[in-house]
Amino acid sequence: MKTVLRLLASLIFFLSFFSFLLLTAFKTKLLTPTFWSAPLQKADVYIYIENQIKSLPSNQLGFTVSSKELQDTIETNIERLIVYFSKGERKLTLYIPIHQWRLPQQLLTQPPFSKLTEETDFETFANLILPKNQVKEIQTYLNLTQQIVLILPIMQIVLLIVGAISIASVYALGKDTAGKIRGTFELVFVSGLFTTLGSYGVLKILEKIINGYPGMNPYLKEVFSDWISDFLSIGQLGGLTALIGGLLGILSVSYLVRTGHVHVEKESEPQTNQKGAKSKKKIIIAILVFLLLAFVISKGKFTLTMTRTGQDSQIAQDQNINEEQKENKSLQKNLILSDAPYVSQFGWSMKYPQGWSIKKHDPSQTVLIHKTSNQTERDWASLAVEPFDRVTGVKDDEFLKVLSDVISTGRLERHPNSKLVGTPMEDEWNGFKRFIAQFDYTDKESSLALRQLRWYLLPIQETRQGYLLYSTSPVTRFDSYESILKNAMSSFKIDQ
């Protein structure tokens, strides 16, 4: 009967110990602002969101939010949410500094923007974007979470009392002084062992699920991994502390028994008891050695696999680079300009690579010249010429700066996700002020990284027509076409 009661008390202690660590993690991690904000800042999520806002095709209103403003907004709302839960606030107030986000003034005076401020009630905000039944449901969950958070300290105290009573019961149900103390430390050791292994195992399983989830944004993967790792660190730390404390206690009791400082109840078969004690020690030592070896071996295999994978990946990458370089050189040798230029009905002429096709866009006066032979999704190039008028309100001596700002901030009309490559230049060329810029962007349909070289030709005689010349190719193939494309663009002439 004593054995059954001792096992029951041991189980209750383990459950109370595990639950206490779980509530501690909830309180010290989830209810701490830095738990949420630090991974966001570490992964550069604020910068990523800023760039995504800039690259939105629908973002034509001049709506811009810097990464620092985003960080301030998100972290302030995290702090307010935690205060709402932990302090029992009656209302949740959101921080939405929309007047700092440089929206047109006429929008700020109209709903829903006019209702958003630095002190926006959550219910007001939710009603602007969600149906009323969903708002009530969310409010119910918020209130329930708040009530749970408020009773967390009481729950922790109850668990401490239950744990203390259960471990005292384990001690009281022991046979003698040595057995009572050793049994207590063995319980602490086993609880710490299972908690440590459980926390570590859950961490690895969740990390594997996150990393293997198809289509998940890499920024989210990093943030979620950091959140999970930080949350489970309480279980690992608490479990490891109990494990080490229990092991030291077991070894201390064994030493005190050997030196005679702790009483051991003698039985009719002392030899059998001695063998049983030795067997327990051997089992404990065997478990520790097995866990240590398993950890070392798995760590070694992981390192070896990662190293080997990294080496194979690097070799394959080097081979691909060499093959691309060979293909690029071969393409450069085979590309030559046409003998006769293409003469446009719009008053200009230009030579183009032999074998390329000409496609006209008469309504917009745009002429597209593109590669047709051996063309693939990742191996193609094109030239285009279209009329270009001076930008109203922008002087010629300001044009280069404006152009650089527009491209580098991703505000180019047709390619909002552009990234400037190199430094834009200007000079005078064949009666034009020529502005040269090069940038990379991602094609929406193919998701392919493309590079485009642009020549803005503004006539020195303002009564003449201006032109935009641009050449495009996948980034991995641009070097092979760059020379022939520049030669073709340099052959551009205006009919006199």
The chain-wide mean pLDDT, for the chain, equals 81
Residues 181-208 have a mean pLDDT of: 91
The 10s digit of each residue's pLDDT in 31-89 is 999 999 999 888 888 888 877 776 654 444 456 678 888 888 899 999 999 999 988 88
> Which residue did the predictor score with more confidence, 313 or 74?
74
Closest by alpha carbon to 440, among 483, 394, 408, 406?
A: 408
Q: What are phi and psi of 355, to 5 degrees?
A: 90, -5
Report pLDDT for 65.
Answer: 74
The 10s digit of each residue's pLDDT in 370-412 is 876 666 667 889 999 999 988 888 899 899 999 988 898 888 8
Residues 455-483 have a mean pLDDT of: 90
How many whole angstroms separate alpha carbon 224 and alpha carbon 235? 18
Beta-carbon contacts of residue 316 (< 8 Å; ≥ 6 apart): none
Expressed in angstroms, the distance from the first to the final Cα of the chain is 112
pLDDT category at 454 given cuts 50, 70, 90 is: very high
Length of the chain, in residues: 496
Report pLDDT for 16.
Answer: 93
Report pLDDT for 98.
Answer: 79
pLDDT category at 284 given cuts 50, 70, 90 is: low
Q: Is pLDDT above 60 for 413?
A: yes
The 10s digit of each residue's pLDDT in 87-109 is 888 889 998 887 777 666 666 67
Report pLDDT for 190.
Answer: 92
- Is residue 13 a contact partner of residue 167, using CB atoms and an 8 Å limit? yes
> Which residue did the predictor score with more confidence, 218 or 63?
218
Q: Is pLDDT above 50 for 158?
A: yes
Report pLDDT for 110.
Answer: 72
3-state SS, residue 431: coil
pLDDT category at 286 given cuts 50, 70, 90 is: low
The 3-class secondary structure across 86-120, one letter per residue, is: HHCCCCCEECCCHHHCCCCHHHHCCCCHHHCCCCE
Look at 200-209, 257-266, 325-334, 370-379 and tell me which has the smallest mean pLDDT. 325-334
3-state SS, residue 213: coil
> Which residue did the predictor score with more confidence, 438 or 218?
438
Report pLDDT for 426.
Answer: 92
- Is residue 351 a contact partner of residue 342, using CB atoms and an 8 Å limit? yes
Report pLDDT for 318.
Answer: 47
> Which residue did the predictor score with more confidence, 446 or 357?
357
Report pLDDT for 111.
Answer: 72
Report pLDDT for 380.
Answer: 87
How many whole angstroms separate alpha carbon 43 and alpha carbon 35? 13
> Which residue did the predictor score with more confidence, 468 or 131?
468
Q: Is pLDDT above 90 for 439?
A: yes
- Is residue 250 a contact partner of residue 284, using CB atoms and an 8 Å limit? yes
Residues 457-484 have a mean pLDDT of: 90
Beta-carbon contacts of residue 123 (< 8 Å; ≥ 6 apart): 91, 135, 139
- Is residue 346 a contact partner of residue 365, using CB atoms and an 8 Å limit? yes
- Is residue 145 a contact partner of residue 231, using CB atoms and an 8 Å limit? no
Report pLDDT for 303.
Answer: 36
Cα 56 versus chain centre, distance: 19
Amino acid letter, 308: R
How many whole angstroms separate alpha carbon 100 and alpha carbon 64? 9
3-state SS, residue 410: coil
How many whole angstroms separate alpha carbon 198 and alpha carbon 79? 31
Written as six digits, the tokens of 11 are: 């189980």
Beta-carbon contacts of residue 152 (< 8 Å; ≥ 6 apart): 23, 26, 27
pLDDT category at 227 given cuts 50, 70, 90 is: very high
Report pLDDT for 163.
Answer: 92
- Cβ burial of 359 (10 Å; 0-12, 13-18, 19+) is exposed
| Helix pair 177-212, 152-172: axis angle to 10 deg | 140
| CATH 3.40.47.10 is held by the domain 342-494 | no
Report pLDDT for 369.
Answer: 85
Domain extents in the chain: 2-265, 266-334, 342-494
Report pLDDT for 155.
Answer: 94
